Amino acid sequence: MAVGIFDSGLGGLTVLDAVARRLPQVPFVYFGDNAHAPYGVRTADDIFALTCAATERLWSEGCDLVILACNTASAAALRRMQETWLPKDKRVLGVFVPLIEALTERQWGDNSPPREVAVKHVALFATPATVASRAFQRELAFRAIGVDVEAQPCGGVVDAIEQGDEILAEALVRSHVEALKRRMPAPEAAILGCTHYPLMEHVFQEALGPEVRVYSQARLVAESLADYLVRRPEFLGPGTASKFLTTGDPASVSNKATQFLRRKIVFEKA
């Protein structure tokens, strides 16, 4: 009954942590493609190929359902995977939709037509590839009308977080917020469109100001997954063991992951 969690690096551990707390009875297999991170500067075709390979590896671990905790993969590869590649007995889900449903105050799986919502001015902070894909705006348009989205590509933030350089990461976040606010001086809400960014959520909030509601993904994805598995229990795969897999150096990735989550994490070679 294992579920796969995929990310290009360590950011998806924020999602893993939340879903494991919400669903303690479910084994989770985490796959970090650290050898090819970051994805945010890669082409859409490259991201698609890497994401498909990682998904197949998680299937081999008995995970019929895979969560793309990587926003870049969700933005650049998910729709193509679902439309052209995915077998009928498997599911791959992204992390955008739970965020948008929370922003637009819709119930999980509400497929009614798009409608007016209270929030009109939304700031999106994401990797360059996620911003370029316009996937967030496309998914939002399915659910809401009249919402102005200003997107800020946050180059360098993921690298700084992965390298453990909090001072640089904080400086970059403040710089990116300032750049966005020059174009949208008064956002009502901000979307942290990368699973690394919850680690800098307090910096985003400080830079944006207390009047801006900041939406972060991990808790919302956990609730969405719990709801999905109640409705579709057949996609709880045959896997039985939790584990951490990486395409990078297991010892190095384990050390960084342990610092990242502040608990002992041991990766195996994928």
164 to 182, 247, 258: CA distances (angstroms): 29, 19, 11
Domain residue ranges of the chain, discontinuous segments joined by +? 3-94+218-269, 97-217
Class of the domain covering 97-217: alpha beta
The Cα–Cα gap between 161 and 180 comes to 21
Q: Is the peptide bond before 38 cis (omega within 30 degrees of 0)?
A: yes
DSSP 179-243: HHHHH-SS-SEEEE-STTGGGGHHHHHHHH-TTSEEE-HHHHHHHHHHHHHHH-GGGS-S----E
Specify whether domain 3-94+218-269 bears CATH 3.40.50.1860: yes
Give every CB contact of residue 218 below 8 A, 6+ residues apart in sequence: 14, 15, 17, 18, 19, 195, 198
SS3 content of the chain, % helix, strand, coil (to 5): 50, 15, 35
DSSP 3-state of 105: coil
- List the catalytic residues: 70, 194
Q: Is the model's pTM score more than 0.85?
A: yes
Per-residue tens of pLDDT for the chain, all 270 residues = 899 999 999 999 999 999 999 999 999 999 999 999 889 889 999 999 999 999 999 999 999 999 999 999 999 999 999 999 999 999 999 998 888 888 888 876 677 899 999 999 999 999 999 999 999 999 899 889 999 999 999 999 988 988 889 999 999 999 999 999 999 999 999 999 998 898 899 999 999 999 999 998 888 899 999 999 999 999 999 999 999 999 999 999 999 999 888 899 999 999
Looking at residue 184, its amino acid is M
Give every CB contact of residue 46 below 8 A, 6+ residues apart in sequence: none
Q: Give start and end residues of each alpha helix (H) in 23-146.
A: 44-60, 71-76, 78-84, 96-103, 128-133, 135-141
